[in-house]
Chain A
């Protein structure tokens, strides 16, 4: 075994490589074409598809905006009806936030990260592909509702009581709730992939202090998704259940509170702004040093700023609720954080300016740079108006006016759209055989920049003179006509800019990986020569800008002189390194193209969408088919240790199969548990919050509650379930053998948990509590729903583990599937015990 310190002496390995290695890599990493293209999982293929789909949604939502601007161009206009206008602004906001902004950033993660980290692919390629197809199908159906009068009308934040059944009958709101809920699940799948990818598939030597800033920003981005998205998933569950079954979470008459929705929505919604901005800031932090020909000034400060922004953004949610009557001191806490978050944002802006300044005039003024400079101006204006609306008295004046519309567009377009266009022009040569046109790019920039400011700069004044948001039209006497007309002209100029970009794409963008390598003379690894298999060999990294600091690295990597220049297992593989120092630990065996992730996405989408229109039986059939697809897909995941250990170069001989906390599957499972934990935390908040609003609907007498023996039995069953699994692991047989006790214990463990959930729900029902009677009843049964969905997952996974045992794929060596199931079981038990304590204990102590 080579010691870590000997690596640099051992690499590059200048000995000639055996013939046929590169051909084997090309064969293994082929990208399917024709009708099999749907099975593709290569990050470059699905990444371009993902980004392309997000851009299509951007264009569609932009066209919707143009219709709205045309309606508002002159007073008392009747181009569209009031009802259609409501649908238009809801679809515009929802599409831009959920179908464009977040997916575009995840798409860039899928597309750029493996190349930036010189990994062959992200660790779960089919999970990425599943997330992408789920998003495309779900997003496509959601957007199409605008064409047949089924689009939601409640604004992108869907506030109840407006969105409750009595005020929003029909399926329009349900399309938002189920469609967007489904897309959020897709976003979470992508986030898990990105976190594990960044922390575990970096090239040897790329310790965290050498991680590209974009990867840091994506790490924070994905972490924020893990914490923030579950809150809105829970909120959409509450609202859909209330609309479908009448559980009164938000109805004041039943002890519910519409403000609960606002808390949950904005706990997601405000971090969402930073979820969009931080990766864009990461992209800018990659482009600026290249164009300035100098390393980024303040690398550590920028990392700190990204992390601090990620945290502080979770203390801002009430700044969207300043006008709801919350006590002043509470508002002050959120106002303080709103100002605190400006500090790390400012750090990044000053670091970019300092980097440009330190280039001493070498800064290249090309299309990506122009978009970056445009972003600096626009985002800074948005940030300054953000500080203004963070002050409660000012916010009360500007609330729900066009001032806010101008502010949010300055933040989001400056903070995300301009960096994205810079990205398009900067990184296009990585996946295209031709660069985009500089001439058209500059036209695109100036049209967008001028058009944007013409649309939104004076819109601050439109708002300050009193024009409210979301109005269909306005009277001539208001005096807002000129402002609105100029805004509409500006919007069409933005549209012209985007059109120029589309023309540029049509003329010059040709997917392929044999174009110019490193046309910008950048320093990071994504500019190494690549093919279908990513880089020919995986480099040993010694600095933050390896292509600037390690001479001839590109040639060495391309001629296979670094790690893993071949495919020792005969399949798709990449190196897994330690999370901090990036030392080689093992080689991951990955899945290639397949149909199951695609069909799983199709059937999952069908299940959600059929439920939306209340076609229950076909929806359930699709749900079952989706589960079957997942199980077939998962069957191939655990390939076992048969092909290892293998040589990767520099004397490293690595295993191809590990279990426990070292394994990437274990990491993914732990992150999934964090998602579930965040969702349950949001539930606990909802329970306690609703109690503070309506303590009168909580039981005043312990005799109204189920007897204590039932929750105790339930808790014991949960604990017994976990114990069965722990013992089952000890009974695993030697390879090639079977042991009937193992599957029996696994089954008993799963059934114990199922029965425990059933018992808890049953005891409340027997005590006379109904979920439709009050918010208390709804929240009590909701705990059962949340535990029940986990227990259902445990049951499915347990049956899967049992099947693997009987087919000889589960033993003392190969037990990753059991280990992952056990992790979920332990989490489920912990969550259920907390829930039992709250549901049965809290009403007894108040």
Chain B
């Protein structure tokens, strides 16, 4: 008696993560800008403004470039997922989703990142 193995198997995690790359970049960006700003303002006091500004600008630019790349070059998903043979309709569906999700995430990151130019790094306007 042995365990039979299915004739067909497919990888799921890789393509799922690639498809969700846009929102995942947004999550990472959001966690870093909120975390850095919160911790820097508490710990660095008067030096916080500089480090908050520099880190948020750097992270936002990096995130926007990555999202722009995913939006303009969606075939990156197919190149990274090349080890798994998949039908064309599946490839097109997932790369299309990745592109649209990255596009939406681009604006979410942009709106969060540009807030820095209008508000004090640590203070309250209340």
- Say whether B37 contacts A330, CB under 8 Å: yes
Q: Counting CB contacts under 8 A, is B34 at the interface?
A: yes
Q: Which residue on chain B has the smallest CB distance to residue A652? A: B7
Q: Which of A1, A692, A735 contacts B1 (CB 8 A)?
A: A735
Known: A327-B123, A332-B115. A208 touches B93 (CB 8 A): yes
Q: Counting CB contacts under 8 A, is A740 at the interface?
A: no
Q: Mark A323-340, 1 if CB is under 8 A from B, else 0.
A: 001111110110111011
CB distance from B42 to the nearest CB of A (A): 4
- Say whether B86 contacts A328, CB under 8 Å: no
Q: Which of B4, B97, B112 contacts A641 (CB 8 A)?
A: B4
List B contacts of A579 (CB < 8 A).
10, 12
List B contacts of A695 (CB < 8 A).
42
How distant is the Cα of A336 from the Cα of B112 in the complex, in angstroms? 5
- Which residues of B21-37 are within 8 A (CB) of A? 23, 26-27, 30, 33-34, 37
- Say whether A303 contacts B120, CB under 8 Å: no
Interchain Cβ contacts under 8 Å between A and B, 18 examples = A208-B90, A304-B104, A308-B105, A315-B26, A327-B41, A327-B123, A328-B125, A336-B112, A340-B104, A340-B108, A580-B15, A584-B6, A642-B1, A654-B4, A655-B5, A658-B6, A662-B5, A692-B38
Q: Which of A209, A307, A326, A641 contacts B23 (CB 8 A)?
A: A307
Q: Counting CB contacts under 8 A, is B20 at the interface?
A: yes
Q: In the complex, which of the residues B3, B107, B111, B122 has the most CB atoms of chain A within 10 Å of its own CB atom?
A: B3
How distant is the Cα of A641 from the Cα of B1 in the complex, in angstroms? 8
A residues with CB within 8 A of B:
1, 4, 199, 207-209, 300-301, 303-304, 307-308, 311-312, 314-315, 325-330, 332-333, 335-337, 339-340, 343-344, 396, 578-581, 583-586, 641-642, 644-645, 654-655, 657-659, 662, 688, 692, 695, 735, 813-814
How distant is the Cα of A337 from the Cα of B123 in the complex, in angstroms? 20
How distant is the Cα of A303 from the Cα of B116 in the complex, in angstroms? 32
- Say whether A329 contacts B100, CB under 8 Å: no
B residues with CB within 8 A of A:
1-10, 12, 15, 20, 23, 26-27, 30, 33-34, 37-39, 41-43, 52, 86-87, 89-90, 93, 96-97, 100-101, 104-105, 107-108, 111-112, 115-116, 118-126
List B contacts of A688 (CB < 8 A).
39
How distant is the Cα of A3 from the Cα of B8 in the complex, in angstroms? 10
Q: In the complex, which of the residues A312, A314, A644, A657 has the most CB atoms of chain B within 10 Å of its own CB atom?
A: A312
- Say whether A330 contacts B112, CB under 8 Å: no
- Say whether A644 contacts B111, CB under 8 Å: no
CB distance from B26 to the nearest CB of A (A): 7
- Say whether A337 contacts B15, CB under 8 Å: no
List A contacts of B119 (CB < 8 A).
328-329, 332
How distant is the Cα of A199 from the Cα of B13 in the complex, in angstroms? 12
CB distance from A839 to the nearest CB of B (A): 18
Q: In the complex, which of the residues B38, B39, B126 has the most CB atoms of chain A within 10 Å of its own CB atom?
A: B126
Known: A304-B104, A311-B23. A658 touches B5 (CB 8 A): yes
List B contacts of A814 (CB < 8 A).
3
- Say whether A315 contacts B30, CB under 8 Å: yes
How distant is the Cα of A534 from the Cα of B24 in the complex, in angstroms? 38
Q: A209-B90, A581-B10 are in contact. List 7 more A-B contacts (CB 8 A).
A: A300-B96, A312-B108, A329-B116, A332-B119, A335-B115, A642-B1, A645-B4
- Say whether A585 contacts B6, CB under 8 Å: yes
Q: Which residue on chain A has the smallest CB distance to residue B97? A: A304
List A contacts of B104 (CB < 8 A).
304, 308, 340, 343-344
List B contacts of A332 (CB < 8 A).
112, 115, 118-119
Known: A336-B111, A343-B104, A581-B10. A641 touches B2 (CB 8 A): yes
How distant is the Cα of A340 from the Cα of B115 in the complex, in angstroms? 13
Q: Which of A303, A308, A581 contacts B86 (CB 8 A)?
A: A581
- Say whether A329 contacts B120, CB under 8 Å: yes
List A contacts of B3 (CB < 8 A).
641, 655, 657-659, 813-814
CB distance from A729 to the nearest CB of B (A): 14
How distant is the Cα of A820 from the Cα of B25 in the complex, in angstroms? 31
List B contacts of A583 (CB < 8 A).
8, 10
- Say whether B111 contacts A300, CB under 8 Å: no
- Say whether B7 contacts A581, CB under 8 Å: no
- Say whether B8 contacts A325, CB under 8 Å: no
How distant is the Cα of A641 from the Cα of B6 in the complex, in angstroms? 13
List B contacts of A585 (CB < 8 A).
6-9
- Say whether B86 contacts A580, CB under 8 Å: yes
Q: Which residue on chain B has the smallest CB distance to residue A655? A: B4
- Say whether A654 contacts B107, CB under 8 Å: no
How distant is the Cα of A326 from the Cα of B116 in the complex, in angstroms? 15
Q: Which of B20, B100, B112 contacts A337 (CB 8 A)?
A: B112
CB distance from B123 to the nearest CB of A (A): 6
How distant is the Cα of A520 from the Cα of B69 in the complex, in angstroms? 45
How distant is the Cα of A1 from the Cα of B4 in the complex, in angstroms? 13
List A contacts of B39 (CB < 8 A).
688, 692
How distant is the Cα of A644 from the Cα of B1 in the complex, in angstroms? 10
List B contacts of A311 (CB < 8 A).
20, 23, 26-27, 105
List B contacts of A336 (CB < 8 A).
108, 111-112, 115
Q: Which of A314, A339, A396 contacts B111 (CB 8 A)?
A: A339
Q: Which residue on chain B has the smallest CB distance to residue A584? A: B8
- Say whether A314 contacts B33, CB under 8 Å: no
- Say whether B126 contacts A340, CB under 8 Å: no
Give 8 closest A-B pairs by Cβ, nearest first: A655-B4, A332-B115, A336-B111, A311-B23, A340-B108, A585-B6, A209-B93, A304-B100
Q: Which residue on chain B has the smallest CB distance to residue A344? A: B104
Q: Which residue on chain B has the smallest CB distance to residue A811? A: B1
CB distance from B100 to the nearest CB of A (A): 4
How distant is the Cα of A642 from the Cα of B3 in the complex, in angstroms? 9
How distant is the Cα of A271 from the Cα of B77 in the complex, in angstroms? 29
CB distance from A391 to the nearest CB of B (A): 12
- Say whether A644 contacts B15, CB under 8 Å: no
- Say whether A308 contacts B23, CB under 8 Å: yes
Q: Which residue on chain B has the smallest CB distance to residue A815? A: B3
Q: Which residue on chain B has the smallest CB distance to residue A689? A: B38
List A contacts of B97 (CB < 8 A).
300, 303-304, 307
List A contacts of B107 (CB < 8 A).
340, 343
List B contacts of A662 (CB < 8 A).
5-6, 9
- Say whether A580 contacts B126, CB under 8 Å: no
Q: Which residue on chain B has the smallest CB distance to residue A736? A: B1
How distant is the Cα of A312 from the Cα of B97 in the complex, in angstroms? 16
Q: In the complex, which of the residues B4, B41, B120 has the most CB atoms of chain A within 10 Å of its own CB atom?
A: B4
